[in-house]
Structure 1
Amino acid sequence: MLTRKQLELLELIDTCMKRDGVPPSFDEMKDALNLRSKSGIHRLITALEERGFIRRLAHRARAIEVLRMPENVEPRVVPRVIEGGAQGRAAPAGGRVVHAMELPVMGRIAAGTPIEAISEVSHMMAVPGAMLSGQGQHYALEVRGDSMIEAGINDGDIVVIREQTTADNGDIVVALVEGQEATLKRFRRMRGMIALEAANPAYETRILRDDQVQVQGRLVGLIRSY
């Protein structure tokens, strides 16, 4: 599975290869991905090569070959109503009409030690339409870890996330840390810094600079299987 930055870089290289016949320079990659240094590009390229998406050709400048693209990558999937019943609504036994939406499950999110961000669709699942909050894109993530257990979020739960880049104090968010790691934590802004708080005393609050944290969505629902 690829992080968002890895996927962005792979798509950039593929687009330039198809359009220009050569990959972008490291400076062009850095600017396109809004990274501060070329060392971040080196790490992304190495990760893509290790995962078998690209190959660097020896003894040639700017020589990168795209071997394959991820299958079924749909990071911007618009939720749709699951068709069923006479008017595209699911009607369970008892006659009560329930609206359901099909959302992409974008892999796993860490409620514990941060793990790599996920941008590859694992599968699709139906969630109650009433769970979706306001306008905008939504997606789901499978929780791994117990750092949010006192907020009622357990290991193995599915969280429903509304895509957004801002958060209010106290919101539970998907936070991307330094462009590499994704975690599910409570968001607080304090004295020019950002605190990512766990809901489990066994985990410490992480205090980070504003430019180290990118909010990628806010928790709006939770699904649990028994």
Structure 2
Amino acid sequence: MLTRKQMELLEFIKSRMDRDGVPPSFDEMKDALDLRSKSGIHRLITALEERGFIRRLAHRARALEIVKLPEAMERPAFTPRVIEGDRPEPPKGAMALDTVHALDLPLLGRIAAGMPIEAISDVAQSVTVPGSMLSGRGQHYALEVKGDSMIEAGINNGDIVVIREQQTADNGDIVVALVADHEATLKRFRRRGGMIALEPANAAYETQVYPEALVKVQGRLVGLIRSY
């Protein structure tokens, strides 16, 4: 698995090669990653080369070649559609705004974006979301995020996430996962043979790996609402 800085550098190199047809200079890489010296870039380049993601070509200026990409870069990353504003409680039994363009979803409580917490099942209140945020058919619900383990995916403590109920997930999906039937967490889903990895989006947290039988997918992230 790549570190955050290694991933940032690889993404920057790819974006510049896609745009210009040549890799960026070491000075451009240093500035893009906000590093103080080019020695840090040299270390990152060496690490990427050792892991087989890039190749340095001899006797050529800016001689870098991308050999492969990590799976997270091969599929489109989730980018939250953030709806900014407060969360006034709608009148009891009423649909907020336009019944066609806005819907009330049950707010089931809090979900951990950190270590798993006790599973949530009680409806605390409701939250109004635009109908365009909902992903296809099926039931949806909302959860308040507790913790900061998904901040690099744009999901902050206190955000409201909109979840589509489903029991399966593709690698790279951000899901609500129920661990051992009593702990729920919001993480990126990866299947590794007979194991399931629940990955944070914060370098301060470690990936949690469980036997497949202990992890149940309860939904996939489809939207996000932020309050100020």
| TM-score normalised per structure 1 | 0.58
Spell out the pairing of 1:135-154 with structure 2 (5 A cutoff): 135-154=137-156
Q: Do the aligned residues in 2 keep the contact of 1:106 with 1:140 (CA within 8 Å)? A: yes
1:110 aligns with 2:109: no
Residue type matched to 1:82 in 2?
M
Q: For residues 203 and 84 of structure 1, do their structure 2 counterparts lie closer, same or farther at Cα, with a shift above 3 Å needed?
A: closer
Deviation at 1:184, TM superposition (A): 0.1
Residue type matched to 2:118 in 1?
E
1:179 aligns with 2:192: no
SS of the residue corresponding to residue 130 of structure 1 reads: helix
Bigger Cα Rg = 2
Unaligned 5+ residue runs, structure 2? 1-92
Q: For residues 81 and 187 of structure 1, do their structure 2 counterparts lie closer, same or farther at Cα, with a shift above 3 Å needed?
A: farther
CA RMSD of aligned residues (A): 1.6
Q: For residues 83 and 122 of structure 1, do their structure 2 counterparts lie closer, same or farther at Cα, with a shift above 3 Å needed?
A: closer
Residue type matched to 1:101 in 2?
L
Q: Which runs of 4+ in 1 moved over 3 A?
A: none
Q: Do the aligned residues in 2 keep the contact of 1:175 with 1:216 (CA within 8 Å)? A: yes
Deviation at 1:177, TM superposition (A): 0.3
Q: Do the aligned residues in 2 keep the contact of 1:116 with 1:181 (CA within 8 Å)? A: yes
Partner Cα distance (1:192, 1:106) in 2: 30
Partner Cα distance (1:201, 1:83) in 2: 39
SS of the residue corresponding to residue 132 of structure 2 reads: helix
- Aligned match for 1:125, one of 120, 127, 132: 127
Residue type matched to 2:221 in 1?
L
Partner Cα distance (1:213, 1:83) in 2: 35
Deviation at 1:84, TM superposition (A): 5.3
SS of the residue corresponding to residue 220 of structure 1 reads: strand
Q: Deviations over 1:29-62 (max 9, x none)?
A: xxxxxxxxxxxxxxxxxxxxxxxxxxxxxxxxxx
What is the identity percentage for the equivalent residue pairs of Structure 1 and Structure 2? 71
Q: For residues 114 and 83 of structure 1, do their structure 2 counterparts lie closer, same or farther at Cα, with a shift above 3 Å needed?
A: closer
SS of the residue corresponding to residue 128 of structure 2 reads: strand
1:82 aligns with 2:95: yes
Unaligned 5+ residue runs, structure 1? 1-79, 90-98
Partner Cα distance (1:131, 1:81) in 2: 20
Residue type matched to 1:107 in 2?
G
SS of the residue corresponding to residue 150 of structure 1 reads: helix
Partner Cα distance (1:136, 1:169) in 2: 21
User: Which has the higher relative contact order, 1 or 2, with Cα contacts under 8 A spaced 6 or more apart?
Assistant: 2
